[in-house]
Structure 1
Amino acid sequence: MGHPDIVYVVRPGEHNPQLRYSLRSLANLPHRQVWVAGHCPAWVRDVGAIPVPGQPTKYLSSTANLRAAAEHPDVAEDFLLFNDDFFVMQPIGVMPVLHRGPVNQVEGYYAARAQGKYLRGLRETRALLADLGVPAPLSYELHVPMPMTKTRALETLDTGQHLDVLHKRTLYGGLYSLGGRHITDPKILTRGNHFSRAAPFLSTMPDTFNYGQVGAFIRARFPTPSPYEKRAGRSR
Structure 2
Amino acid sequence: MGVPDIVYVVKPGEHNPQLRFSLRSLANLPHRRVWLAGHCPAWVSDVGVIPTVQQGTKYVNSTANLRAAAEHPDVAEDFLLLNDDFFIVQPVGVMPVLHRGPVDEAEVYYATRARGHYLRGLRETRQLLAELGHPVPLSYELHLPMPMTKSRVLEALDIGRHLDVLHKRSLYGNLFELGGRQVTDPKILTRGPQFPRNVPFLSTMPDTFNHGQVGAFIRARFPKASPYETRTGRSR
Give the TM-score band, short-chain normalised: over 0.9
Question: Could you say if the C-alpha distance between residues 211 and 128 of structure 1 is closer, same or farther in structure 2, counting changes exceeding 3 Å?
Answer: same
Q: Which residue of 1 aligns with 2:124?
A: 124
Helix, strand or coil for the counterpart of 1:104? helix
Structure 1 residue 234, shift from structure 2 partner: 2.4
**Equivalence map 1:1-236=2 (5 Å):** 2-236=2-236
TM-score by length of 1: 0.99
Structure 1 residue 194, shift from structure 2 partner: 1.2
Deviation readout 1:194-230 (Å, 9 max, x if unpaired): 1111110000000000000000000000000000001
Deviation readout 1:146-184 (Å, 9 max, x if unpaired): 000000000010000000000000000010011001011
- Paired residues in the alignment total 236
Deviation readout 1:120-156 (Å, 9 max, x if unpaired): 0000000000000000000000000000000000001
Helix, strand or coil for the counterpart of 2:81? strand
Helix, strand or coil for the counterpart of 1:8? strand
Helix, strand or coil for the counterpart of 1:151? helix
Q: Which amino acid aligns with 1:34?
A: V
Structure 1 residue 115, shift from structure 2 partner: 4.7
Moved over 6 A (4+): none
CA distance in 1, matches of 2:39, 2:113: 32
Q: CA RMSD in A?
A: 0.8
Structure 1 residue 56, shift from structure 2 partner: 1.6
Structure 1 residue 112, shift from structure 2 partner: 1.8
% identical equivalent positions: 79
CA distance in 2, matches of 1:8, 1:28: 16
Q: Is the 8 A contact 2:144 2:201 kept in 1?
A: yes
CA distance in 1, matches of 2:113, 2:85: 23
CA distance in 2, matches of 1:28, 1:224: 13
CA distance in 2, matches of 1:151, 1:170: 16
Q: Which amino acid aligns with 2:31?
A: H
CA distance in 2, matches of 1:13, 1:20: 12
Structure 1 residue 2, shift from structure 2 partner: 3.4
Structure 1 gap segments, 5+ residues each = none
Helix, strand or coil for the counterpart of 2:36? strand
Q: Is the 8 A contact 2:9 2:84 kept in 1?
A: yes
Structure 1 residue 40, shift from structure 2 partner: 0.3
TM-score by length of 2: 0.99
Helix, strand or coil for the counterpart of 1:233? coil
CA distance in 1, matches of 2:55, 2:148: 23
